[in-house]
């Protein structure tokens, strides 16, 4: 007599292996989306840096990771800390904020930058843009505007201090009235800007030649070109211009 196969009770049968739950897809970079913006702060006055740091560090989306007292140190700190955003004062020793911005734009192409200035003056606004800065903030209004400027920069949006639009329009019309290129075609070269700063700081042509390792004749040629471009007459007017532009402090 044949015996029918015995089927084990359901409880005795091995359970099928569970299928692992699929992990949610993560887009590249989203795991750091909540990380605060890492900021490099550069100003030659420690007290100013302290005040600006208090403003920035009070925000959950911003954190200062490095400070610098001049433009050259700012470049060194950026190389070391790789920040997301640099806030640079224009008037600093050794290297101005504009010079530092030019170097940083080559060193860290993805770095966002904002420049700070003491004066409501549009003279170096276009130079700041050419150097890679996306924002232009007055120090006197930093407690109100700096946070907005930082966040705009991280969104790749420009930021202008209040009143800048009117100043730029006046500058455009004045250039056009004088028959100059109203788009700023006569702006200073980096070397002319460097010599202008040194002249305004009281250095002689011989001193400047030694500092920059160029001839006295080359210094004087650059100074003459600067006078011509800016429509100025002498060293005193150059110095006043540099102060108004925020390249040096009075």
Q: Mean per-residue pLDDT for 65-84?
A: 97
Look at residue 112 in the predicted model and tell me its pLDDT: 96
- 233 vs 60: which has the higher pLDDT: 60
Asked, for residue 31, whether it belongs to a domain, the answer is no
The model's confidence at residue 29, banded by pLDDT at 50, 70 and 90, is very low
The model's confidence at residue 25, banded by pLDDT at 50, 70 and 90, is very low
Domain that holds residue 229: 188-245
HEC letters along 173-214 = HHHHHCCCCCCCCCCCCHHHHHHHHHHHCCCCHHHHHHHHCC
| pLDDT tens digits for range 166-215 | 766 776 677 677 666 555 555 788 888 889 989 988 899 999 999 999 99
Give yes or no: residues 140 and 208 share one domain. Answer: no
Give yes or no for residue 156 having a pLDDT over 80.
Answer: yes
Q: What is the DSSP-derived secondary structure letter of residue 163?
A: T
Backbone angles phi, psi at 118, to 5 degrees: -80, -20
Backbone angles phi, psi at 214, to 5 degrees: -135, 175
Give yes or no: residues 113 and 208 share one domain. Answer: no
The model's confidence at residue 23, banded by pLDDT at 50, 70 and 90, is very low
Give yes or no: residues 127 and 239 share one domain. Answer: no
Backbone angles phi, psi at 44, to 5 degrees: -80, -5
**Coil, strand or helix at 40:** strand
Q: Identify the domain boundary among 136, 166, 196.
A: 166
Give yes or no for residue 20 having a pLDDT over 60.
Answer: no
Give yes or no: residues 89 and 152 share one domain. Answer: yes
**Coil, strand or helix at 228:** helix
Whole-structure pTM over 0.75, yes or no? no
Give yes or no for residue 83 having a pLDDT over 80.
Answer: yes
Q: Identify the domain boundary among 134, 166, 198.
A: 166
Q: What is the DSSP-derived secondary structure letter of residue 91?
A: S
Look at residue 123 in the predicted model and tell me its pLDDT: 65
Look at residue 239 in the predicted model and tell me its pLDDT: 85
Look at residue 186 in the predicted model and tell me its pLDDT: 54
Asked, for residue 176, whether it belongs to a domain, the answer is no
Give yes or no: residues 156 and 194 share one domain. Answer: no
Q: With contact defined as beta carbons under 8 Å apart, do 164 and 122 qualify?
A: yes
Q: Mean per-residue pLDDT for 76-93?
A: 95
As for how many domains the chain has, the answer is 2
Asked, for residue 60, whether it belongs to a domain, the answer is yes
Give yes or no: residues 130 and 64 share one domain. Answer: yes
Give yes or no for residue 24 having a pLDDT over 80.
Answer: no
Give yes or no: residues 114 and 197 share one domain. Answer: no
Look at residue 180 in the predicted model and tell me its pLDDT: 62
Alpha helices in the chain (DSSP H): 46-57, 71-81, 97-107, 125-131, 142-154, 164-177, 190-200, 205-212, 216-230, 235-245
Asked, for residue 29, whether it belongs to a domain, the answer is no
CATH classification of the domain holding 238: 1.10.10.10
The model's confidence at residue 111, banded by pLDDT at 50, 70 and 90, is very high
The model's confidence at residue 14, banded by pLDDT at 50, 70 and 90, is low
Asked, for residue 175, whether it belongs to a domain, the answer is no
Question: Tokens 């042509």 sit at which residue?
Answer: 205
CATH classification of the domain holding 44: 3.40.50.2300
Q: Is the dihedral of CA 210, 212, 218, 221 positive or negative?
A: negative
Give yes or no: residues 144 and 204 share one domain. Answer: no
Give yes or no for residue 151 having a pLDDT over 80.
Answer: yes
Look at residue 173 in the predicted model and tell me its pLDDT: 75
Q: With contact defined as beta carbons under 8 Å apart, do 99 and 68 qualify?
A: no
The model's confidence at residue 121, banded by pLDDT at 50, 70 and 90, is low
């Amino acid at each position: 007599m044949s015996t029918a196969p015995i089927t084990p009770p359901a409880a005795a049968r091995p359970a099928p292996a569970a299928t692992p739950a699929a992990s949610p897809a993560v887009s590249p970079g989203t795991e750091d989306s909540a990380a605060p913006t890492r900021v490099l702060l550069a100003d030659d006055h420690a007290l100013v840096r302290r005040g600006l740091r208090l403003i920035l560090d009070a925000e959950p989306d911003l954190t200062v990771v490095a400070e610098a007292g001049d433009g050259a140190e700012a470049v060194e700190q950026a190389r070391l800390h790789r920040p997301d955003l640099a806030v640079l004062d224009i008037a600093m020793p050794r290297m101005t904020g504009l010079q530092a911005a030019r170097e940083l734009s080559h060193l860290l192409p993805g770095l966002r930058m904002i420049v700070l200035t003491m004066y409501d003056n549009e003279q170096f606004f276009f130079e700041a843009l050419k150097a890679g800065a996306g924002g232009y903030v007055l120090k006197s209004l930093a407690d109100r505007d700096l946070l907005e400027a930082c966040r705009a920069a991280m969104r790749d949006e420009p930021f202008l201090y209040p009143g800048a639009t009117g100043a730029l329009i006046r500058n455009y019309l004045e250039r056009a009235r004088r028959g100059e290129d109203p788009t700023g075609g006569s702006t200073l070269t980096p070397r002319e800007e460097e010599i202008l700063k040194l002249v305004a700081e009281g250095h002689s042509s011989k001193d400047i030649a030694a500092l920059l390792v160029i001839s006295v004749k080359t210094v004087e040629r650059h100074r003459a070109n600067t006078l011509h471009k800016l429509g100025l007459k002498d060293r005193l007017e150059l110095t006043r211009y540099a102060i108004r532009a925020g390249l040096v402090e009075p």
